[in-house]
Chain A
Amino acid sequence: KNQVEQSPQSLIILEGKNCTLQCNYTVSPFSNLRWYKQDTGRGPVSLTIMTFSENTKSNGRYTATLDADTKQSSLHITASQLSDSASYICVVSDFSGGYNKLIFGAGTRLAVHP
């Protein structure tokens, strides 16, 4: 069964600190892996997209890594800001249907405190 699991479920950090969120997946066939940020009550917004051949990708203070052999990914947030408070969702794409069908994790809820 295709699954995406994220840890931790929730995280509280102080403003300015760094943090790393984890994602493990069992999706096959694997096409690409995405990280989304979702503010409460809003739709998800893409942060990064990585194909199986990419090991790391950055978007400002966000850096995602991918190990396609172990089927693990991480999202590292540097110098956190209050506006980083949101849910971060790991999404793996399965192309078996001829299009990128997204399979979402449950997300990590991040709270950045002053």
Chain B
Amino acid sequence: DTGVSQNPRHKITKRGQNVTFRCDPISEHNRLYWYRQTLGQGPEFLTYFQNEAQLEKSRLLSDRFSAERPKGSFSTLEIQRTEQGDSAMYLCASSLGQGTSLPYEQYFGPGTRLTVT
């Protein structure tokens, strides 16, 4: 399967614990995006990488959240001291991109469903 993969698919954790999610993008894609989706809503942008550089972070990404893409390939999203409000689906997407407005397709992974109890 050459699509975007995410692990784990489901994570249940207790409030206050740290969690880390992984995203493996399509191999030739230089751009990687993280989104958060709560029930009944569309995804909301969290952060964006071009290669290994994190170029934009949403105000939704509090200081408890950190994302990395160390070698410009896979990415991790860590949430520290989880809160019940962090319960959501965390989606990763990847795309090509060359700094033009051409509408490169963003391909989404299956998501990681986080439940904080």
Contact = CB atoms under 8 A, between A and B. Distances in A.
Interface string B16-58: 0000000000000001010000001111110010100001100
B11 interface: no
Q: How large is the interface on B (under 10, 10 to 19, 20 to 34, 35 or more residues)?
A: 20 to 34
A98 B105 contact: no
Nearest to A32: B103
Interface stretch (A61-69, A70-78, A89-97): A89-97
A45 B106 CA distance: 9
Q: How large is the interface on A (under 10, 10 to 19, 20 to 34, 35 or more residues)?
A: 20 to 34
Interface of A: 4, 31-32, 34, 41-46, 49, 51, 89, 91, 93, 95, 97-107
B103 A93 contact: yes
Nearest to B103: A32
Given A43-B4, A45-B108, A106 B103 contact: no
